[in-house]
Structure 1
Amino acid sequence: MSQTLINALQNPALYPHPVDGFQLIETHISWVLLTGEYAYKVKKPMNFGFLDFTGLDQRQHFCNEELRLNQRLTEGLYLEVLPITGSVEAPQLGGDGAPIEYALKMRQFPQGQMLSTLQANGELHTGHIDQMARQIAEFHLQAPKVSPEHPLGTPESVMAPVEQNFEQIRPFLTDKADLQQLDNLQAWARSSFERLHGLLETRKANGFIRECHGDIHLGNATLIDGKVVIFDCIEFNEPFRLTDVYADVGFLAMDLEDRGLKCLARRFISQYLELTGDYAGLELLNFYKAYRALVRAKVALFSLPADAEGVQRATTLRTYRNYANLAESYSAIPSRLLAITHGVSAVGKSHVAMRLVEALGAIRVRSDVERKRLFGAQQQQDAGQLATGVYDRDASVATY
């Protein structure tokens, strides 16, 4: 029935605006009709366990949630939810009568401006990543906090999907080396969880479990009018979205590293931390990056047909192993390094420090940023004086 409806919706007479033509993009959970100036997204009546769109009321609810949640990070992109009335063979957009379906209306943007496409073409640069760092930091700082009484965000709820990855991956593997690697990764995840348990409890109590995006990667970011816009957040599953902010951060960092962009991943992390000051949670980063890498490894295996053989199976296993190896890399103990730059103003200290961030994976901590975080800006009457106001001895001791 739904495919019949999608075919019937490809009629220019149904739309109150010019239609350049129709292009249909289909995913496992939705159809998106591109018309030129606008796009219309219709959810499939599917139940995958982690999402349930089987009922019309559910599809309406999640269309409204997708509109609400994505308007937090976008402006003028997600427009409205429209009822589809009439019949499957002769539908009307927003007409009278009982709705038979719902569509989310969005502003259409050029697919060639997706950051994943720019990266594939060698056109992604530091300015794009800096914009993403600032947007994500500001978004996380403003995102609603999940109540301490809410069951999500507890250490046990964080660990449950981590364990589920291993349970769901293992039946697909037969190679002894793959199974041994998976066992080692599971042992590392469990020991990391024990080590981080107290920090996870503290994060929950201190309000770092927030209504996040849940799916930040280069494939969900685009350029619109020259500005990076992050879209397509998770609306259909609260456990994917109500998470520690580091789950969001770790996803993008992992995605960049998977694409061979370690320098940009490191730059993103350091910029994000300067803006949020959330250094206390940094110990969680590799834990969440490994989790996200194994989710992608699992999804690759899920895409493998039961009767797959030869090239298809080898290709899928290669993808799985790439993500498993990436996850394993996060279990390595890093080398320790402290580098201190000093000198008069405007000699390039911050620039040199950022080069160390990108080359070595260091975290840049800038005294002027942390001083202002602690004490605010220097008062006008103390401007230009280094021993008064926010630059007096006590303030400097507290800063360093």
Structure 2
Amino acid sequence: MNHIARLSEVMYVGLCRRVGSPTEVRIRREVNDTMEVVSQPVYIMKRLDRMKSGSKREGFRLITSDSDWMLWPPDHKVICDISQINLYRIPQHTVMLMECDDLPPGFTRLSLLSQSNNAETVSSCVVMNDSTYISSTIFRENYLRFLNTYGISTAVLHGPCSTYSILQDVDADNAFCFKSDHWPTSAIPWIQRCRERRWPNQTVVSEILSGGFHIVPIGSTPENKLEWRISFSQAEQKLVYSMNHCQFLCYGLFKVFLKDVINCQPNTSILCSYFIKTIVFWVIQKNTSLSWTPENLLTCFWESFKLLIYMVHTGECPNFFIPQNNMFRVKVTGSVQILLFNQLYDLYSKGISCLLLSEKIRPYLSIAILYKTLRVQTDENNF
């Protein structure tokens, strides 16, 4: 067994202790899924459906893991085509039509086709060209006030979410949004790509398609107050569930490395764990020859890290479901992009030893390096 394989195996064992063993991760997910079903009917007087999202839902229990929730009025239905309106009953359902023409990929407007009894939705309406649209900006502000009425006065807007602290260094992110039971037209090519690359498998693809997607209140730029972002949070959770444990630990290792090393410098802390997750998805699907096993863990991490460097260099991070949506379009540009690339390239130049810069990762690699040294010394003495 070569040195990298030995280091990988030791890292795998160490990450199982820090991130979780296969059994621990499975139990966390089952508990989350059960709690969501049990608590659903009673949440805020049945006014909203909700879904836990983020790293805790995925099975992580890292110190900095936030509590992320998506919440939406259950009688509000988003359709992708006008013909789908026949699937719903009016006035029991409030129907909204997606309009994606002349908008950046991954974003939409919501045209209100029927009346709503939801106060936050009604007061978010804006009339334009004889049509009624729901303003994402007003919608966010309305639900921020909604939280205030329930005693959460510290909540502030952060992207599409209302964020407030629940513990030291741990925030709760509530994304008030809408849900669609369909699949967006712009993401249909993703289905064929999965069939060609054979990841995820057809069972997971079917589950994702039947689960639909969400529309969260944030535009491509702050001034676009009628734009909403298409969110695949539920689909991404199913993708993470479908990972084998080596893939999951590689994702966890990348998250820790991002927090401890890449984002430790204020001038370059522009990457988020969502970018990291997207990169791991692309590596799994594109590099079909890569072996996701414990002895290959560091090789898999290195492939993911190299893809990150390439994306920063080109300034393009394609969304996994809608590749035309470049998620670096606003954040990773100009001087910030140059600084980040130089930082990542410096780390790349150190080789896999750059992982030693993380206080959380260093102990596991140090043990493996010490083991290797002692083994070499023993072999030399025996010789």
> TM-score, with normalisation over the residues of structure 1?
0.26
> TM-score, with normalisation over the residues of structure 2?
0.27
Q: Is the strand fraction higher in 1 or 2?
A: 2
Structure showing greater relative contact order (alpha-carbon pairs closer than 8 Å, 6 or more residues apart): 2
